[in-house]
Amino acid sequence: MEALLHIEHLTGGYSKQKPVLHDIGFTVNQGEMVGLIGLNGAGKSTTIKHILGLMEPHRGSVQLGGRRLEDDPTAYRRTYAYVPETPLLYEELTVREHLEMAAMAYDLSREAYAERSALLLEDFQMAPFHNRLSAHLSKGMKQKVMIMSAFLVKPDLYIIDEPFLGLDPLGIRSLLELMAKVKSEGAAILISSHILSTIERYADRYVVLHHGRLAAAGDLEALRAAAHMPQAPLDDVFCSLVTREVTPK
């Protein structure tokens, strides 16, 4: 598999005097899902902000499709779609208008927009609410709008941060089915979530962050070997890995 996202020796954060991330490195390949997992404050959100281009690395690099943000910002940003933990919508726009705005941002054709938006609205039980202002949506419905906007444009990489919070059971099932579908079509997915039992069923590999450092990386068997816990579920392996002391490199 070819690496779509390539992070190498990434050190970064809000202050150069006190970085959050320390020499992080991992890849996300085309056609695979990678779970980015760690305790609160481990550096997951900071890592995502560096990938999105919202923060500049102190050292190291982030590349998408062999391209850095500074090489071509527009092309770089069109490579990914981001679903944040907290929905960010315009209160004066309707559900349909949010989808239309996403389509315009990614130069989606009218035909592709019409077909994809209809399917997504149906999958997420949002068709009856397509003309409702986002100010009048529940948190779960707002999250569905964010998810639909991301999957509407079919990017090369999906960056999904705690997507299950606020979703109803049907919404969770629709999201999981969509992720499996786009992955089978060759898309890459980086997903951060604390619901490890779900991540274990769908992710191909994992990146475990602890105190801003890489505690472990690889498939479940690799994590089990690192934790010396053969046959253990991801929850137990993770807890073992992050309760150890991480020695700075």
Please give the full DSSP string across 152-215, using - where no structure is assigned: HS--SEEEEESTTTT--HHHHHHHHHHHHHHHHTT-EEEEE-S-HHHHHHH-SEEEEEETTEEE
Structure confidence at residue 247 (pLDDT): 45
Q: Where are the domains of the chain?
A: 1-79+161-249, 88-154
Contacts 24+ apart (CB under 8 A), 142-145: 142/87, 142/89, 142/166, 143/83, 143/87, 143/167, 143/171, 144/171, 145/87, 145/89, 145/95, 145/98, 145/99
If you count them, how many residues does the chain have? 249
- The pLDDT, as a whole number, for residue 9 is 97
In order of 80, 110, 245, 246, the CA distances from 235 in angstroms are 29, 44, 18, 19
**pLDDT for the residue 1:** 60
Residues of the chain with pLDDT under 50: 246-249
The pLDDT of residue 166: 85
Pull the structure tokens for residue 99: 């989808």
Q: Which two tokens stand for residue 24?
A: 């992080």
Q: For residue 192, what are the β-bridge partners? A: 36, 161
pLDDT value of residue 20:
96
Q: What is the DSSP letter of 54?
A: S
CATH of 1-79+161-249, one of 1.10.10.10, 3.40.190.10, 3.65.10.10, 3.40.50.300: 3.40.50.300
Closest CA to 210 of 47, 84, 51: 47
Read off the tokens for 240.
Answer: 């073992």
Task: Report the 10 Å Cβ neighbour count for 180.
Answer: 14
For position 245, what pLDDT does the model report?
54
> For residue 244, what pLDDT is reported?
73
